[in-house]
Amino acid sequence: MVSILIPVFNSKFFLYESIQSILNQSFTDLEVIVVDDASSDNSPSIVHNLKDSRIKFIQLTKNLGIGGALNVGLNHAKGKYIVRMDADDIAYPNRIDQQVQFMEKNPSIGVSGTLAEYFDGTPFNRVVKNEYLRPSLLLDCPFVHPTVIIQKEILDKSGLQFSGYLEDYQLWIELSKITEFGLLPEILLKYRRSESQFTAQNFDKRSNEANRLRISMAEYWLGRSITTTEKNIVSLNISEENQPELKMVQTFCKELLEKASWSDSTQTLEVIKKLFFRNFYRTPMRLRSNFQILNIDFLSLREKLNLLKKSNFSEIS
């Protein structure tokens, strides 16, 4: 029923506990595909010592990276569903059972995730409506990757696999074009925060790739190529001299709202407002005025007054 994909690279300190959290699941109709991405530590021996017939171990002789290792696992998976798991996280005992039940009850949803928390109990993500997830790709990656479950049939029919430097974000954008998304409001995973892990490294490269994907999402959304100015609107870490004027941001946001026929209008508006606010607070004072703020028709009166207060307070300060 379920194929769990666990890519492994030098994960000896946490690997045993992570795999055990899957083997001890209340849901038992599963296979655990562990792909060792050419580790130089004793990760392979840890897997070999786990005597469970549901484990399929694949050892690569060349490091392919997370996306490459996951694709190798995908090619060996036989389950109806693909479930992601990292080699240093812990799944709660009922995680797979709850996710399978959710997917079985909602066949129109091709990919879904759950809430997660750090090991100190701090929440990783928060509850949002399912309809919010696809448009939110314009802002950021909407899922905690190791919480995700995917209908394998969708991957098989579309030919989609993990690709790119941010392999999960890239895949969600492609899947958003062909299926619905979902998010369970339960915490079902403990996520390990580590300064040495891949997600904490190569910040600039990851940031640039995330901006490229936001631009890709905007162009899919609008059905056209976007200008350099519009690319700056959807990108993060833009210098002050490249920050577009507020009027341009407003115009771009209005077009996004008008073209969002593929998603829920209320949740799409929430995403557009976040995009606007993100730009508003990084726009220099000289590029915004009270008149412009009052004429932003997709904001409520209360939101406009709040922006006016903050803008005028900053000017006085």
Q: Are 114 and 147 in contact (CB under 8 A)?
A: yes
Nearest residue to 14 (alpha-carbon basis) of 70, 91, 89, 119: 89
Q: What is the DSSP string of 224-260?
A: S---HHHHHHH-SS--GGGPPPHHHHHHHHHHHHHT-
> DSSP code of 53?
T
Q: Has residue 83 got a pLDDT over 70?
A: yes
pLDDT, residue 198, reads: 47
What value does the mean pLDDT take over residues 107-122? 97
CA distance 34 to 55: 7
Strand partners, 117: 123, 190
Quote the pLDDT of residue 316.
37
- pTM value is 0.92
The phi, psi pair for 33, rounded to 5°, reads -95, 105
pLDDT of residue 1: 97
Q: Which residue has the tokens 């409001």?
A: 185
Can you list the domains of the chain with their CATH numbers?
A: 2-200 (3.90.550.10), 203-316 (no CATH)
Q: Tens digits of per-residue pLDDT, 42-77?
A: 999 999 999 999 999 999 999 999 999 999 999 999
pLDDT in tens, 234-280: 999 999 889 999 999 999 999 999 998 877 999 999 999 999 999 99
Q: What is the pLDDT of residue 201?
A: 58
Q: Tell me how many degrees the CA angle 190-124-279 measures, rounded to the nearest 5.
A: 160
The whole-number pLDDT of residue 225 equals 98
pLDDT tens-digit series, residues 143-196: 999 999 999 999 999 999 999 899 999 999 999 999 999 999 999 999 998 654
**Spatial CB neighbours of 78, under 8 Å, sequence gap ≥ 6:** 3, 31
